[in-house]
A and B are shown apart, each in its own frame.
Chain A
Amino acid sequence: EVQLVESGGGLVQPGGSLRLSCAASAFTFSSYWMYWVRQAPGKGLVWVSRINSDGSETRYADSVKGRFTISRDNAKNTLYLQMNSLRAEDTAVYYCARGGAYSNSPWDYWGQGTLVTVSS
């Protein structure tokens, strides 16, 4: 069964950093585009970042550009999101999601999410 398991969330002060991880299992991780999506408390889903299957192409939402970095280790079947210069408005549950072989392939599986709280 395909599984995506996020970790690394927690409470951090404004200006601080966190690294989220998404451990993938039961599929050929290196064949899929991967995504990070976040959901602020009581709000909707917002795309954050994406990375292609070999990690050579990355894109970011304007709200996190220059502060967040997406990466992947295909040998470890793990997706990452390095978050620096965190702001209160970054407080959200962060989900990783699996895409497909192309940038316009549909998404299917999601992780359970990890909560990031930015507060002093």
Chain B
Amino acid sequence: DIQMTQSPSSLSASVGDRVTITCRASQDISNYLAWFQQKAGKAPKSLIYAASNLQSGVPSKFRGSGSGTDFTLTISSLQPEDFATYYCQQYNGYPPTFGQGTKVEI
């Protein structure tokens, strides 16, 4: 299985900050990388697919980049509604696998 490793596991930030989360795959996944946001007690929400493409309706303050094995999610100007847990996922290899999550806290 392809292992997905996110860092950090958690971070503290303030409203207005810019934060960056990294995700590393254990082997080359090209750009078959997605990012999901999950708020406490809620279902995951798709933010980005193909490493850098925003899902419909997702604000441009979310930016994804990378290819191969190293990827990043950058959130600019953090707002209260952005405090959540973020997961990366590779969907090229079988089985699809998720990172362990990064909790963004105030």
Contact = CB atoms under 8 A, between A and B. Distances in A.
A97 B87 CA distance: 15
Given A44-B98, A47-B98, A106-B34, A111 B43 contact: yes
Interface string B29-70: 000101010100011111001100001000000000000000
A104 B43 contact: no
Interface of B: 32, 34, 36, 38, 42-46, 49-50, 55, 87, 89, 91-92, 94-101
A61 B44 contact: no
B91 A104 contact: yes
Contacts of A112: 42-43
Interface in A99-120: 99, 103-113
Contacts of B43: 95, 110-113
A108 B49 contact: yes
A110 B99 CA distance: 18
B96 A44 contact: no
Contacts of A105: 91
Contacts, number: 54
A108 B55 contact: yes
A105 to B, nearest CB: 7
Given A108-B46, A111-B43, 13 more contacts: A35-B96, A47-B95, A95-B44, A99-B91, A104-B32, A104-B91, A106-B34, A106-B46, A107-B34, A107-B46, A110-B43, A110-B45, A112-B42
A67 to B, nearest CB: 16
Interface string A27-47: 000000001000000001111
Nearest to B87: A45
